[in-house]
Amino acid sequence: MILHSIETGNFKLDGGAMFGVVPKALWEKTNPADEKNRIGMSARSLLIEDGKRLILIDAGLGNKQNKKFFNHFCRWGDFSLDSSLKKAGFSCDDITDVFFTHLHFDHCGGAIKKNSNGLLVPSFKNALFWSNVDHWKWANFPNLREKASFLEENILPLQQSGQLNLLDSPISSGLTKTSLGFEVLFVDGHTDKQMLPVIKYKKETIVFAGDLIPTIGHLPIPYLMGYDTRPLLTLKEKKSFLDVAVEKNYLLFMEHDPSNELVSLKKTDRGVRLDKSHKLTSYF
């Protein structure tokens, strides 16, 4: 198995929305804001090269949205999905599986593109797409709070492609095995049945942190996103996860932190905090 960090393109989100009730004077120490109060966000995917399989975890925002959309989310930097895959030695056609932690637009938008005729088609024509039964229902019949994050132009083409596969939801707590070579931790505070891959790699355990811990600024337990649908549940899930993560020396692969790709943790008198920040290629 070989892991590749795939930078699909950076964007910005409102800092207040990303930190909820936490005062700006606190969160801007780790996540400085621009003049419009927006913080920098990455959309970093993880590519797993495992035998004949090339598994991409999440696919970023994509580029099919209109100018108004991207003016709002302010794309920045030079990264793109195609260029990052090319740098790793691959193309979209080589991907065999795309695993979605969840179906918010910044996690699945890159899986669907517009072709030369303006039709919405899969970006990965040879891949299977993976979600789960409960989250698929949640995304297709969204509550008013999340409706702006579940976009029809991202979700319906996945189903129409014939490439969609839905995992069963877990019947008990703990890690759930998959046929993809890694286990999954299901969490429900941010959105229903978000799936966080837990990957055994070169004697280490790497957890794709997704939106449970989007940036290192969110390591303190009460630092929750305003986007979370069940914030008190996120509180519980974060504490439980971080206690286990620091005890078992998990490494966290950070999807949304533009400055920190892979991090180790330590226990302090203030709770679990960042120990060291690493690059995937230099750590292994």
Residue spans per domain, the chain:
2-283
DSSP 192-231: TTEEEEEEEETTEEEEE-TTTS-SGGG-STT---TT-SSH
Burial of 217 (0-12, 13-18, 19+ CB in 10 A): buried
Check residue 81 and give its pLDDT.
Answer: 96
Check residue 113 and give its pLDDT.
Answer: 95
Q: What is the pLDDT along the chain (284 residues), one digit of tens a residue?
A: 999 999 999 999 999 999 999 999 999 999 999 999 999 999 999 999 999 999 999 999 998 988 888 888 989 888 999 999 999 999 999 999 999 999 999 999 999 999 988 899 999 999 999 999 999 999 999 999 899 999 999 999 999 999 999 999 887 778 999 999 999 999 999 999 999 999 999 999 999 999 999 999 999 999 999 999 999 999 999 999 999 999 999 999 999 999 999 999 999 999 999 999 999 998 88
Check residue 208 and give its pLDDT.
Answer: 98
* 233: three-class secondary structure by DSSP: helix
- CA atoms lying within 13 Å on the CB side of residue 149: 19
Check residue 169 and give its pLDDT.
Answer: 83
For residues 97 and 117, give the distance between their C-alpha atoms in angstroms, rounded to a whole number. Answer: 25
Check residue 174 and give its pLDDT.
Answer: 81
Check residue 116 and give its pLDDT.
Answer: 86
CATH superfamily of 2-283: Ribonuclease Z/Hydroxyacylglutathione hydrolase-like (3.60.15.10)
CA-nearest of 203, 199, 216 to 255 is: 216
- What stretches of the chain show up as alpha helix (H) in DSSP? 15-19, 24-27, 67-73, 81-87, 105-108, 133-140, 152-160, 231-247, 280-283
Token code pair at residue 209: 């942190």
CB 163, CB 128: distance < 8 Å: yes
What number of other Cβ atoms are within 10 A of residue 111's Cβ? 28
Check residue 220 and give its pLDDT.
Answer: 97
For residues 115 and 267, give the distance between their C-alpha atoms in angstroms, rounded to a whole number. Answer: 49
First to last CA, the chain: 12
CA-nearest of 4, 48, 97 to 199 is: 48
